[in-house]
Amino acid sequence: MGRLDPLNSKELKQLKQLLQEQYGYKADFAYTVFVTEENKYYVATREVEQFLDKKLRIERVGVYFGQELHGELRLSIEGSQIIGPGAEEHVIELTPEQRGDWMLGKDVLLDEEHEQTFHIIKCGQDFLGCGKFKNGVLQNYVPKERYVGAVFTDEDTII
């Protein structure tokens, strides 16, 4: 990490504003947030701040939350799980069949139109990450190492 200082109140306010503008997220954001030179955000509980003033060698703090790209915030899977329940905009609900394709790392064709921006992806109560809608296709941004090798449905039985 390039810096281990949490975002100051002005920077945190800007992040909260971006979350509100992009995802309609107005809920409390009670996390300590760190940012790297690549505009990658990491979040941790506020209790972590007590360790920052000690002369410890810390390379990384928190959970990867997302990355700001060209004024938009692309959330990680964990970021979508934190923000998703309070998001009121740019949330796309997938069917169980589409969820299977998404979890396998595939882009998903959608019949309905959406803004060409990043969207939180969910299926039922599960938040699955973030994708960008463009030209009728929901582009999958899940890293290859996070793909699921197989997808099972509720009807599948293991013998």
CA distance 16 to 18: 5
Give the residue extent of every domain in the chain: 9-146
Mean pLDDT of the chain: 88
pTM of the model: 0.85
pLDDT single digits (tens) 76-121: 999 999 999 999 999 999 999 999 899 889 999 998 999 999 999 9
Q: Which class is 9-146 in CATH?
A: alpha beta
Q: In which band, very low, low, confident or very high, does the pLDDT at 5 lie, cut at 50, 70 and 90?
A: confident
Residue 126 has pLDDT above 80, yes or no: yes
Residue 104 DSSP one-character state: T
